[in-house]
Structure formats: C-alpha cells, structure tokens
Structure 1
Amino acid sequence: MPTSRITIGRREEATHPDALRAAAAEFFSTLIFVFAGQGSGVAFSKLTGNAATTPVGLVAAALAHGFALFVAVAAGANISGGHVNPAVTFGIFLGGNITLFRGLLYWVAQLLGSIVACLLLLFVTGSSTGIFELSGVGVWNAVVLEIVLTFGLVYTVYATAVDPKKDSVGIIGPLAIGLVVGANILVGGAFDGAAMNPAIAFGPALVSWSWTNHWVYWAGPLIGGGVAGILYELLFIFHTHEELPTTDY
C-alpha cells in the first residue's frame, strides 16, 4: 500500500536562507506575471475603449498571460521551482514534493507579489486592474471550470517540471506551462476569467476591494491543483518506481 508522502517540515524552514531566497524568487516571478498579464488588460481597454472580454481582448489576454508565465516560471525555476501560483504549490505539496512550511512561505510571497504588481499598475496607469468575475455562468459552474482548467495546468507542471523522468522534456517545461495557461484562457476567459491561480485573482480583488464570488478563485484552483498533484504522483511517479535489487558491498 502506498503511504502518504506529505511532509510538514520544520518551523525553522521559514527563516532558512535557502527558503527565503526561494520565497523572494516566487515574489518577483509572481510580480512579473501579474504585472504583465493584468497590465495587458488595462492597456487593451485604454487603446480600444472596450472591455478585455471581447474576442480580440481574449486572445490578447491569452497571449500576454502565456508569454508572461513562460518567462516567470523560467526565471524562478532554478531557485524556487517557479510555481508562481498557490494552486501549483498546493498540488506539489499534496504530491509530497514540498513541505508545508515552505509551501506556506511560497503562498505569502505569491500573494504579496500579486498585490505589489496591482498597486504598481494602479500607480503607473491610474487605472485599477479588472477583477475576476463570472459572466453568464453560476458559481458552481465556475468552480468546476476552474477545477478542470487548473487540473490541466498542474498536470502539465508535474509532467514537464516535477516528474523525475522528464529528462529533456524539462527544458521546455516553462514553455509548456505558459502554453497551457494561454489555451485555457481561450476556453474559460469568457465565462469566469480563467484564473487558475488564487494569487492573480487576489491582488486585483484587494486593490479594488471587490470580493464578489472571490472564493470561487480559491476553491476551484486548489481542488483542481490538489487532485492533479495526487493523481500524477500516485499513477505516474509512485507506481513506476521499481524496487532496486539488493547489492552487497
């Protein structure tokens, strides 16, 4: 029977230099991602006078978020793993690949990165970023949509960045992660904004102080990311590990 690989870690991790450096990398990577992704919506609205939920705006948002995430993940990959997303961190934690204390440190850094990015956008543009909200769907439809979209994202993260068998596939990991987010925005952007990331929804909600249905953007991504982490770990990592033959030295 497989045993749980979830690890709590030690409180000292929260102040260990390596953990703090990793958290700093998560902060800056998330800031880069949110600033570019959300900023593209502000710029589109200024240039066209239309909401970013028009067809052209949706494509622009998908490209901006996909490109920005590609860069943000690549920038943080060698320091923190380039999570840039509390749902990714949660899925990696449930798969036993990060401790609870380090994961919580990442969460704080990711949320702060999003907040700072949105405050900077407000300062430099004079406009607050658009909040994530539902459009023509109910809350439970949106929760399921976020579950499915985030499942695809975290599954991709595991396959291209976490799986020890990834070999050369890991080189294109950040690109694959950016591409799946861009594709998912084309699917879900018109219905609920396709956040797939509690941090990117939290910053705009806090700066605009608008919390309508905000829980959707936590519940859906965390469930989807958690399920993806557990399933990938159990189906493709845990069960494929063969016991090494005993050798006497």
Structure 2
Amino acid sequence: MPGPNEYFNVPLRRVAIGNTDEFRHPGAIKAAVAEFISTLMFVFAGSGSGIAYNKLTGNGPASPGGLIAASIAHAFGLFVAVSVGANISGGHVNPAVTFGLFVGGNITLFRGILYIIAQLLGSVAACFLLSFTTGGLAVPAFALSDGVSVLPAFVFEIVMTFGLVYTVYATAVDPKKGEVGIIAPIAIGFIVGANILAGGAFTGASMNPAVAFGPAVVSFTWANHWIYWAGPLVGGGLAGVIYEVFFISHTHEPLQEF
C-alpha cells in the first residue's frame, strides 16, 4: 500500500539563508536592478491609470468603469513586468511573491531581501515620476472603502495574495509545469486583474506591499498601511508552504529563482 509521502510531500525543502556576499554578487545585483525596473514599470502603469481616471472624472466617485480600467491596467502591466524580468531575476515584482518563494526554498533570504529593497525603491521611484510628469497630481494611496473594517480587509488581502502566489507556483515554479510555463506571465497578470475586480471596491486589492508602499510614501498616507504588508505576506507565505508540501516533488535541487 502506498505510503503517505507518495500522495504528498510532507517536508519542505530546506530554507536557504545565503550570505551577505550576495549583496555584492554581480548576478544578484543585476537581478535586483531588473526587479527595480520591472516594479517601476508596473506601478507606473497601475497607479498611473488611477491618476488618469481621477483626472478624467474630476476626482469623482468610484465607478464600475474605473474598477475595470484599473483591472486591465494592472493585468497588462504585470504581464509585461513579469515577462521582461523573467530571464534575469524571475520577475517577482512583489515582496509577497519573493517571500512565498523564500519559505518554499526557492530563493535565499539575503537575495530575497535584495529583491524586496529593489521592489520598494522601484515603486517609490514610479510614484515620484508620476507626481512629476502629471504636474503634481495626487498619487492615489491604498485605503479601505467606507464600511470595510480591518479584519475582513486583512483576510481579503490574504486570500487574494494566496491566489496570486499559488498561480506563480503552479505556472512558473513547479518543475512539472511543462508548457504551462509559457503562459505564466499571462496567468499571473490575469489573476491580479481578476482579484482587482473582486476586491478593488473593498481594499483596493493591493496583493503587493511594494504597490502600496510607493503611493503611501509620496502621498504620506499610512492609515491601515500594515494591512497591505501583513495580508500579502501571510497569503504569499501560505501559498508557498501549501504548494511545496502537497504538490512539488522534492527529488530535485532547490531553485534559486523562477
């Protein structure tokens, strides 16, 4: 009779810490620059769509059309951002993705820290560029909608980010992905766009601490900002652990990036 491990893998692959030399390694620095550029591109397109919507409507109330526009802009922007970074850094473009890959043993801690710093700087740079190029128009910061309390918003961000990082694992990380890997950037962009349609009217549907961080810095708006860190990191971490435990064979060497 098959043992339990023939149905799923209980132990996670060894989580790798790495060392500080990675901060100076040319390959790691090149990857961090790629993460900076990819995140800048994504945030510039995503947040820029919000600024354009506010300009066209005279800062009018939110509407279904605005939600759809935000969904499309983020889906297209992320598709491109992941695609252009995939062969250099893996195209994480999101601290929650990086964290989810770390807990699954697919990136070292120090390389992950380097990625996250680059992602945050890319987001801040994108938002300052948006403020400058639009003549000082406000960069919309993430905030809870009226009537949405903290706990449901926190869970919403967990669930949405879980779906995102689970998609990353299934289409980009899993060594059995086969030809599905070709559509990984599309799938990742689509799940973000779909989640914005689902959660945009409640939390803004960040799913990405870097995406929330840049606008918060530029607009200096920090109300409930912790939700946009804690929710995505918890969701991303859970997705990484669950996919590694149940679905990935542990007969291969740990990946360093996808």
TM (norm. structure 2) is: 0.91
- Change in Cα spacing, 1:242 to 1:15, as seen in structure 2 (3 Å) is closer
The aligned residue for residue 141 of structure 2 is 131
**Larger helix share, 1 or 2:** 1
The aligned residue for residue 9 of structure 1 is 18
The aligned residue for residue 116 of structure 1 is 125
User: What amino acid maps onto 2:125 in structure 1?
Assistant: V
- Change in Cα spacing, 1:155 to 1:127, as seen in structure 2 (3 Å) is same
Q: In structure 1, what is the Cα distance between the partners aligned to 2:60 and 2:119?
A: 27
Paired residues of 1:44 and 1:52 also in contact (CA < 8 A): no
Q: In structure 2, what is the Cα distance between the partners aligned to 1:207 and 1:15?
A: 29
The aligned residue for residue 224 of structure 1 is 235
- Change in Cα spacing, 1:20 to 1:242, as seen in structure 2 (3 Å) is closer
Corresponding position: 1:206 with 2:220 = no
Q: In structure 2, what is the Cα distance between the partners aligned to 1:211 and 1:229?
A: 28
- What's the CA shift for 1:47? 1.3
Corresponding position: 1:161 with 2:172 = yes
- Please give the secondary structure, in 2, of the residue aligned with 1:158: helix
The aligned residue for residue 109 of structure 2 is 100
Corresponding position: 1:189 with 2:222 = no
Q: In structure 2, what is the Cα distance between the partners aligned to 1:106 and 1:155?
A: 19
Aligned residues: percent identity? Answer: 68
Which of 85, 91, 109 aligns to 2:94? It is: 85
Task: Give 5+ residue unaligned stretches, structure 1.
Answer: 244-249
Q: In structure 1, what is the Cα distance between the partners aligned to 2:12 and 2:161?
A: 25
Paired residues of 2:12 and 2:244 also in contact (CA < 8 A): no
- What's the CA shift for 1:51? 4.5
The answer to which of 135-144 and 193-202 deviates more is 135-144
Which of 48, 51, 61 aligns to 1:39? It is: 48
- What's the CA shift for 1:10? 1.2
Q: In structure 1, what is the Cα distance between the partners aligned to 2:180 and 2:218?
A: 38
- Please give the secondary structure, in 2, of the residue aligned with 1:192: coil
Q: In structure 2, what is the Cα distance between the partners aligned to 1:75 and 1:242?
A: 30
Paired residues of 1:85 and 1:199 also in contact (CA < 8 A): yes
Q: In structure 1, what is the Cα distance between the partners aligned to 2:250 and 2:114?
A: 30
- What's the CA shift for 1:50? 3.9
- What's the CA shift for 1:204? 0.4
Corresponding position: 1:233 with 2:244 = yes
Paired residues of 1:134 and 1:191 also in contact (CA < 8 A): yes
- Please give the secondary structure, in 1, of the residue aligned with 2:247: helix
- What's the CA shift for 1:53? 3.0
The aligned residue for residue 5 of structure 2 is none
Count of aligned pairs: 241
- Change in Cα spacing, 1:51 to 1:215, as seen in structure 2 (3 Å) is farther
TM (norm. structure 1) is: 0.94
Q: In structure 2, what is the Cα distance between the partners aligned to 1:95 and 1:53?
A: 38
The aligned residue for residue 152 of structure 2 is 141
- What's the CA shift for 1:190? 0.1
- What's the CA shift for 1:48? 1.9
The aligned residue for residue 25 of structure 1 is 34
The aligned residue for residue 180 of structure 1 is 191
- What's the CA shift for 1:2? 2.0
Task: Give 5+ residue unaligned stretches, structure 2.
Answer: 1-9, 253-258
RMSD of Structure 2 on Structure 1 (CA): 1.3
- Please give the secondary structure, in 2, of the residue aligned with 1:131: coil
